[in-house]
Amino acid sequence: MSHPHRLRQAIDAAGTTPLIGVFDMFSASVAARHYDGMFVSGFGFAASHYGLPDIGFIAWPDIIAFVQRLRLSFPRQHLLVDIDDGYVDPETACHVVQSLEAIGASGVILEDQKRPRRCGHVDGKQVLPLEEYLEKLDMVLAARRELVVVARTDATEEDEILRRAKALAATDADVVLVDGVRSVERIRTVRRVIGDKPLLFNQIAGGTSPRLSLSELSDLGVDVAIYSTPCLFAAQTAIDQALSKLKEADGRLPRTGPDTVGVAECLALLEKNISRHHEHVPA
C-alpha cells in the first residue's frame, strides 16, 4: 500500500487524525514514539535549518533532502509536507511535488499566499488572486500521481475566506485548510461551505486559532489536525531551562535518573532509526 493511500485511509477513518510537526531528525525520532503521523512544518524547518523565521527563506532542495532522510528512518509514518506557495512559480511547485512523491512523502500543503509570505498565524498575510492560485493548484494536481494534496487559503476576511474555501472544495484537491481560523463558529461555517470535502485544522501554540482537543475537532467535522510546533517550542523551553540550571550549578552536570536522559537512553532512541530502515516494509 502506498504512503498516499495510507494517509487517505487515515483521513477517511472516523475521528480526527493528528499529524505532529517535526523540525529535524531528532524531534522526529521522539515524535515517532508517540504518533503515527508527522507534519514537516515550515515554521519548524525554517527555525531549525536556517535559524530564521518562516517568512520565505526555505529552499526547496533542502525540504526534499530532509523528507528523504525522514522516509528512510520512518518507513511507516505519514509524512505531510508544508511546501508554502510551491516556491513561487507553478513549474517549481510541480517539480517539488513530483520529487517528494518519488521519495515517499504522503502529501503536501500548497498555500495561496504571495510573497513576501508569512506564518499563517501572524498578521500581514497577502493572498494571490484566486484564479492565479487555482491555476497553480490545477498544475500540481495534474503533476501528482497519488500524492495527497491539501489546498490552503490564508485569506483573512470572512467573505473571502468562504469564497475561497468553496472554490478549493470544488477542485480535485483531497483536503481543504483555512489557516489561522479564529473561532469555533468559523470552523463550523467552513465545514458547511466545503460540503463533503475533508477539512484540515492547524493548531500552533500562541497562534490565532482556538485550542481544541481531538474529540472536539471530531465533533466539528475536522478530519485532520496538524500540530505545527509542539516539538520546537518544547525544545526551546527545555534547552533554555537545562542551560540555566547548568550555569547555576557552576557547570556540574545533573545526575541521571529515571526521569532524565543520558547516553544510553539517547542511543537507544537513535538506534531504532537504523532498525526501522532494515525491517521489511509491507508493499
pLDDT level of residue 283 (50, 70, 90 thresholds): very low
User: How far is the C-alpha of 190 from the C-alpha of 82, rounded, in Å?
Assistant: 21
* Cα 146–chain centre separation: 18
Per DSSP (E only), the strands in 136-267 are 148-153, 175-178, 199-203, 224-227
Cα separation, 115 vs 87, whole angstroms: 10
Q: Which residue has the cell 535518573?
A: 257
H-run or E-run covering 38: strand 37-40
In a domain, 84, yes or no: yes
Domain annotation covers residue 258: no
Q: Report if residue 207 sits inside a domain.
A: yes
**268 part of a folded domain:** no
Exposed/middle/buried for residue 229 (C-beta within 10 Å: 0-12, 13-18, 19+): buried
CATH label of the domain that carries residue 246: 3.20.20.60
**Residue whose grid cell is 532522510:** 69
| Residue range 8-34, pLDDT digits in tens | 999 999 999 999 999 999 999 999 999
* 70 within some domain: yes
Domain membership flag for residue 172: yes
Q: What is the pLDDT of residue 280?
A: 56
* Rounded mean pLDDT, 83-93: 96
Angle at 222 between CA 157 and CA 200, to 5 degrees: 60
CA–CA distance, 218 with 229 (Å, rounded to integer): 21
The 10s digit of each residue's pLDDT in 95-153 is 999 999 999 999 999 999 988 787 767 777 899 999 999 999 999 999 999 999 999 99
Is the predicted pLDDT of residue 51 greater than 70, yes or no?
A: yes
Q: How confident is the model over 142-165, as a mean pLDDT?
A: 96
Q: What average pLDDT does the chain have?
A: 93
- The answer to whether residue 37 sits within a structural domain is yes
Q: Read off the pTM.
A: 0.93
Here the cell at position 124 is 500581514
Give the number of domains in the chain: 1
pLDDT of residue 2: 97
What is the grid cell recorded at 135? 491555476
DSSP 8-class letter at 49: I
Q: Cell numbers for 182, please give them.
A: 479564529
Each residue of 237-254: pLDDT tens digit?
999 999 999 999 999 998
Cβ contacts of 157 within 8 Å, gap of 6 or more: none
Where in the sequence is the domain holding 154, given as residue range(s)? 3-253
- Judge whether 236 lies within some domain: yes
